[in-house]
Amino acid sequence: MAENTRLEIKKARLKLYLAAEIAILKGQAYEMEGLKLTRADLKTVQNVIAQLESEIAKFGKRPARMKYIVPRDSF
């Protein structure tokens, strides 16, 4: 899979998790037509957000290049 595609998937996931966090903060549980619903755990969602932000930040960084010096005899 191309790096850009992986980055875009992570960005899309982050956007969804940020929306979920807002929904949780607006109301953790609610009732609709007699059915009580509870949203996801806020701490879990915030942990995933932090993880995704960290992974996205790593995409911009390139590992340090290593240079090899090969000694040669000069005769």
| Assigned domain for 70 exists | no
The answer to whether residue 19 is domain-embedded is yes
Contact 39, 23 (CB under 8 A): yes
Number of compact structural domains in the chain:
1
Amino acid at 10: K
Name which residue leads in pLDDT, 61 or 42: 42
pLDDT at 52: 96
- Give the model's pLDDT for residue 32: 84
**In which domain, by residue range, is 16 found?**
3-59
Considering the domain boundaries, does residue 65 fall inside one? no
pLDDT of residue 10: 95
Nearest-Å Rg of the Cα atoms of the chain is 23
Question: Is 32 a member of any domain?
Answer: yes
Q: For residues 8 and 56, is the Cβ–Cβ distance under 8 A? A: no
Reported as a single tens digit per residue, the pLDDT across 13-53 is 999 999 999 988 888 777 888 898 887 889 999 999 999 99
CA–CA dist 64, 59 (Å, integer): 14
Reported pTM: 0.67
